[in-house]
Chains A and B, each alone.
Chain A
Amino acid sequence: MKKFVITIITILVLCAGLGYGSHELTKSTGDSGSKVLNLYNWGDYIDPALLTKFQKETGYHVNVETFDSNEAMYTKIKQGGTNYDLTVPSDYMVQKMKADHMLIPLDKSKLTGMQNYGSSFMNKSFDPGNRYSIPYFWGTLGIIYNDQDVKPGSLEHWNQLWQPQYKDGIMLIDSARDIMGFSLISLGKSVNTTKTANLLAARNKLNRLSPNVKAVVADEIKMYMAEGEAPVAVDWSGEASEMMSQNSHLHYVVPTEGSNMWFDNLVIPKTAKHFKAIYAFLNFMNKPENAAQNAKYIGYSTPNNQALKLLPKSVRNDKQFYPPQKVLDRLQVYSNLSPTKVQQYNDLYLEFKMHH
């Protein structure tokens, strides 16, 4: 017993010592004083080299804290006790935070470089006139296939997923809104429909997809697809780009009849304090060379058209991640639904998952 206690105490003392040491090390490189900016971002969602560059140019030190879901971010800011200056919610969450009076409008007179953004990415339904948000990255929902099992060009429409040749061959991302969404699109309905009849039809159509569904999984889908566990998957473009970097046989298509388009956006929450630093940072990120560097590091699609021009030709002309205008016009953005409707989407989705 005595030995055990001594061992535990030794481990604790060692950890405390190492922790203190690393804290001291990071403190000495950090900038003290009020010249800081508190950024609340998704994990690994900005090029760290840009943060160093920003500090060199402006003298503001950026503290980054991370979250892993819109809901977690929302809860933390809502509960209070934080002092985040900027955060990065997705489209429907911008709408929800706006409705709950958690955002501060942007002062357009302090912003430069807003003309760099493409018109397809501005003035969206979740924030008309971009009063509160600047798009950070955007992407789509689409189909990923492995060219060892599926002939390239043979799978381009949502309805083709129902073909018997894909029996037990499709992996779906575990997300109620997205799976119900593509079923709705395949029926020619809006992804934001609140009509029960449409939702029931979408569920019934998904039930018929069951024989083709191999699994409904979360983040693991990237690993499974990279290892060739299934020939086809439905997932977001950002995840697709990660899979494709691990397996060159994978390809991504956005069905031409339409799909979801998602946005992650920079917004100023009510907890913000350092407004000079905030606008310095927003203007810094608006600059084409910085946005391009960030897009190169993250691999998602940038809404900054001037930045896009700076990216390599192979990226710029990649129809998978920068679809042509006629497809862009058919993409739909999710709007924030009432809790009752969110529940209905999820209940019907759960019923689909239980269907055999």
Chain B
Amino acid sequence: MAMKKSFKGLFYTPYILWLAMFVIAPVALIIYYSFFDIHHQFTFSNYRVFFESGTYLTMTANSVLYAFLITVISILISYPMALVISRLKHRDLWILLVILPTWINLLLKAYAFIGLLSRDGLVNNLFEFFGIPAQQMLFTDASFILVAAYIQIPFMILPIYNSMTDISDSYIRASSDLGATKWQTLTKIIIPMTMPGIKSGIQIVFIPSLSLFMLSRLIGGNKIITLGTAVEEHFLTTMNWGMGSTIGVVLIISMVVVMLFTNTKRKGRRS
């Protein structure tokens, strides 16, 4: 009996060690640092500064707004796409093509978009070919949201696609046998049954979108300042790790909030 117990412990050890070293310790360190100012004195002032200054609150509002827009646009594009792909004959191949861009480094993709959207870029050349005057596209809100949504779409499609392929065809057939229109089948059967997929998509997309500092500089030209920009600045330029960590804590808390709102209770899905 005792041997069996220690054997079980042996299995748990690596998992607990992993959790302690790479999840609990870093989060604890961030929280610890957030209570120190630039003179290494213990203080609550970082939090006071964050919640009293208009700057950080506007930045938070901006970040949430842009992350929300990016998430909504990714859903609007991903859902129909996942629906179509899940009905295709070679659907594994098509979904592979959707995942393919994630194999390319984020920075390379950003630079590729600079080439497309710049003043003498491909898109403006096309415009001119059709007689439309060249547009300023880089450094606009629209281009930032477009590029960010492009980057996030594969992460939104995958969970939705997986939950769609889980739906047995017999549900769809049953619904049409019982006289439901295609629209009713979609809204009453498919969407409710793929809700867990949508929710995990939102979780994967929304949080990273809150702190996209690389894209906000390269594509947004720092005209859009998110919390990520501030974290980068505090850690690299001003070396004010305390304030940077405070923003990190705020990001962690907002992640927990999003998780709570999109919590999917696994209802016993018997097959």
A residues contacting B by CB (< 8 A) are 69, 71, 168, 171, 174, 176, 213-218, 220, 223-224, 227-229, 339-340, 342-343, 346-347, 350-351, 353-354, 356
Contact = CB atoms under 8 A, between A and B. Distances in A.
B260 to A, nearest CB: 29
B221 A214 contact: yes
Interface string B112-143: 00100011100000000000000010110000
A354 B55 contact: yes
B239 A350 contact: no
16 contacts: A71-B236, A168-B136, A171-B221, A174-B222, A215-B138, A216-B221, A216-B223, A217-B218, A227-B118, A227-B119, A229-B118, A340-B38, A347-B55, A350-B225, A350-B233, A351-B55
Given A176-B237, A346-B233, A354 B58 contact: yes
B240 interface: yes
B176 interface: no
Given A339-B39, A354-B59, A215 B238 contact: no
B237 A346 contact: yes
Nearest to A74: B239
Interface of B: 38-39, 55, 58-59, 62, 114, 118-120, 136, 138-139, 217-218, 221-223, 225, 229-230, 233, 236-240
Contacts of A340: 38
Contacts of B62: 354
Given A339-B239, A342-B238, A351-B55, A215 B222 contact: yes
Given A339-B239, A346-B237, A351-B55, A216 B119 contact: no
A344 B240 CA distance: 11
B221 A217 contact: yes
A215 B217 CA distance: 8
Contacts of A351: 55
- Of listed B58, B59, B221, residue having the most chain A CB within 10 A: B221
Contacts of A174: 217, 222
Nearest to A214: B139
Nearest to B119: A229
A217 B38 contact: no
Contacts of B217: 174, 216-218, 220
A346 B221 CA distance: 18
B127 to A, nearest CB: 16
A296 to B, nearest CB: 31
A71 B221 CA distance: 24
